[in-house]
Amino acid sequence: MDRENAERLQRAIEAMRNGRFVALLDRPEREGEADLLLAAEHATGERINEMITIARGLLTVAMEAARLAELNIPLLEPHNAGPNAPRFAAPVDYIHDTTTGVSAFDRAATLRALADPAARSEDFAQPGHVFPLAAMPGGLEEREGHTEGAVALAKLAGVRPVVAMCEIMAPDGTMARGEALRRWLEEYSIPDITVAEIKVGLPQQRQTD
């Protein structure tokens, strides 16, 4: 990894570690899209409201399949899904100190609970309003998707590998790609990183830890 890419990765790591947003970009030949990320342990109602307002896409949460199994949250059986389809699990709501589960504040509570090692399966209602995505067990070596990239970045940042994600859409309702995505990143001054850069940086980061 060259110096410029290493610096980009370090900015993304620091942003995730400190509860700031990160934009995670896919390869143009794969989906060519970007997701806005926030470490779930740092989720607040205000941050989630901002996230869904500026990114506009579906709010999901990337996490490891082992954590979903601990919480008895089952994976959904895919049907007619494409090769890049993520592994959705049953949507959930945290049941303590929440109401309908759909407000930004209720969803933030659910996100924090999913990242809390003390939370148990009985703390969540199914179905709910937060959509978990399971990373592949082999991580980025097995699948170079936003889900795996988000989990890998969280691990590099030293936070729980549970990450809120929201697809970035352009104001006209299309997915933000190319020039539209560049303008979006400039408007909000959010650090960005690619899935490929995270994957390349993993061995180097392990050596320096």
Rounded Cα gap, residues 91 and 73, in angstroms: 8
User: In this structure, are residues 67 and 137 in contact, taking their beta carbons and an 8 Å threshold?
Assistant: no
Residue holding tokens 């620091």?
A: 14
Q: Which residues contact 68 (CB under 8 A, 6 or more apart)?
A: 74, 75, 89, 132, 134
Q: Closest by alpha carbon to 63, among 43, 82, 49, 78?
A: 43
- Cα distances (Å, whole numbers) of residue 153 to 13, 87, 140, 148, 179: 7, 18, 11, 9, 25
Domain-located, residue 209: no
Cα separation of 196 and 142, whole Å? 13
Contact call for residues 73 and 90 (beta carbons, < 8 A): yes
CATH of the domain at 96: 3.90.870.10
pLDDT of residue 31: 64
CB atoms under 10 Å from CB of 205, counted, come to 18
Residue 22 counted as domain residue:
yes
**Are 158 and 205 contacting, i.e. CB atoms less than 8 angstroms apart?**
no
104-115 vs 45-55: helix axis angle to the nearest 10? Answer: 110
The Cα-based distances of 125 to 68, 89, 128 in angstroms read: 13, 13, 6
Say if 208 falls within a structural domain: no
Q: What is the pLDDT of residue 206?
A: 45
Domain count, the chain: 1
Among 151, 120, 118, CA closest to 133: 151
Q: Give the C-alpha separation, 164 to 150, whole Å.
A: 9
From 36, 83, 27, 80, select the one nearest 62 (Cα to Cα). Answer: 36
Domain annotation covers residue 100: yes
Does any domain span residue 207?
A: no
For the record, the structure tokens of 106 come out as 């209720």
pLDDT of residue 208: 40
Range of the domain at 128: 3-202
Split the chain (209 residues) into runs of 10 and give each run's mean pLDDT. Answer: 87 97 83 91 98 97 97 94 88 97 98 98 98 96 94 97 97 92 94 94 54
The span from the CA of 115 to the CA of 102, in Å, is: 18
- At 21 the pLDDT is 98
pLDDT at 28: 63
